[in-house]
Amino acid sequence: MARIAAIGEVMVELSPYPTAQEETREIMALSYAGDTYNTSVYMSRLGLETHYVTRLGDDPYSEQIIQRMHDEGIGTDMIERVAGRSPGLYIIRNTPDGEREFFYWRREAPARELFSEPNESVRLYNQLQEFNAVYLSGITLAIMTDTARQSLFDALAKLRGKGVKVIFDSNYRPRLWNTAKDAQNAMQAMLKHTDIALLTLDDEQLLWGDDSIEGCKKRYQALSELVLKRGAEETVLIVDGEEQRVPVPKVDNVIDTTGAGDTFNAGYLAARLDGASAEAAAANGTRCARVVIQHRGGVIEKTLFEAGING
């Protein structure tokens, strides 16, 4: 069985409680989420041996996050606990037109210090070289300092030299970067150390002003494996210069698209690291995402996910 380690941040999530609302106060439901964390949950559910790399505090909410990972079968040996600290927080607010707004409190989150200490960087590198693959995202890069990011890149370069595959989802969130140029530079540097890029065409438009497939092919021509997710449109695969299109069947009862891309990534990687073709892996990713978007939340109940996958 392939072993994969995901690097990133898990945050406390507060969202409107669906059945309880008072005139004088909002009733919120508490959960935990984060893009690479969401993907890790689904990779583990799909049978991929999954471990998580982050920093958490010593507070009750950090403890609950660790317990959630244990419950999902995710390895936590590479999580650093920092005394006196706590994870970041975000609140989801529903607007009158049915859209959702996100408000973040994460500046003091210990995950922002990943790869910032030389001893920790060496320790993580030594642990990561025992894996088949490492997975991270543009959000992982965005929360790091420039120095920590370079330490990460150095580690990834050495890991690839030892045969570890590096998998990257750009997941561009403008508010996490000082400027779009900073994000562009970091993404370009990261893609030099990437074996499989799982990108979203909407993010490409947002970051580069280019939503064409041809533009992406030109920009990332050095990549050996490129996956372009396009929502309800067919997925584009470019593997060793050969392009393929994988259909995305229509879903009539879409409830919530939160986490669809994260879930696609999980399905793709679970199949691809098990030896499936890129085309079969993309079909599996689509199948997993279809289940999630028919329920509310980025991480749905395990029984719902398994029923949807097996149904």
Burial of 133 (0-12, 13-18, 19+ CB in 10 A): buried
Inter-residue contact 158 to 299 (CB < 8 Å): no
Provide the H-helix boundaries in 98-197.
118-128, 138-142, 146-161, 180-191
Of 45-54, 95-104, 175-184, the range with the lowest mean pLDDT is: 95-104
Residue 32 in tokens: 């935990």
Write down the residue that tokens 């149904």 correspond to.
311
Q: Is the pLDDT of residue 212 over 80?
A: yes
Tokens found for residue 295: 């329920």
On the question of pLDDT at 160 being above 90, the answer is yes
Mean pLDDT of 10-37: 82
Answer yes or no: is pLDDT of 19 > 80: no
Indicate the helix (H) or strand (E) that contains 134.
strand 133-137
Full set of structural domains in the chain with CATH = 35-83+113-310 (3.40.1190.20)
Residue 29 confidence (pLDDT): 87
β-strand 89-94 against 233-239: which pairing, if any?
unpaired
Catalytic (active-site) positions = 262
Instruction: For residue 296, name the pLDDT band (cuts at 50, 70, 90).
Output: confident
Q: What value does the mean pLDDT of the chain take?
A: 93
- Per DSSP, the three-state class of 105 is strand
Task: Summarize the confidence of residues 264-287 as an average pLDDT.
Answer: 97
The CA-to-CA distance between both ends of the chain, in Å, stands at 25
Tell me what pLDDT residue 21 has. 58
> How big, in percent rounded to 5, are the helix, strand and coil portions of the chain?
40, 25, 35
- Number of neighbouring beta carbons within 10 Å of residue 170: 23
**What is the band of 84 on the pLDDT scale with cuts at 50, 70, 90?**
very high
Q: Pick the more confident residue, 153 or 251.
A: 153
Pair type for strands 28-33 and 196-200? unpaired
Q: Look at residue 23 in the predicted model and tell me its pLDDT.
A: 62
Cβ distance 31 to 297 under 8 Å? Answer: yes
CA distances (Å), origin 162, targets 132, 167, 169, 284: 10, 15, 22, 28
Cβ burial, residue 242 (10 Å; 0-12/13-18/19+): exposed
User: Residue 94: pLDDT above 80?
Assistant: no
pLDDT value of residue 17: 78
Contacts of residue 253, Cβ cutoff 8 Å, sequence gap at least 6: 294
Pinpoint the alpha helices (H) of 192-224: 201-208, 213-219
Residue 27 above 90 pLDDT?
no
pLDDT digits (tens, 9 = 90+) for 133-143: 999 999 999 99
pLDDT score for 233: 93
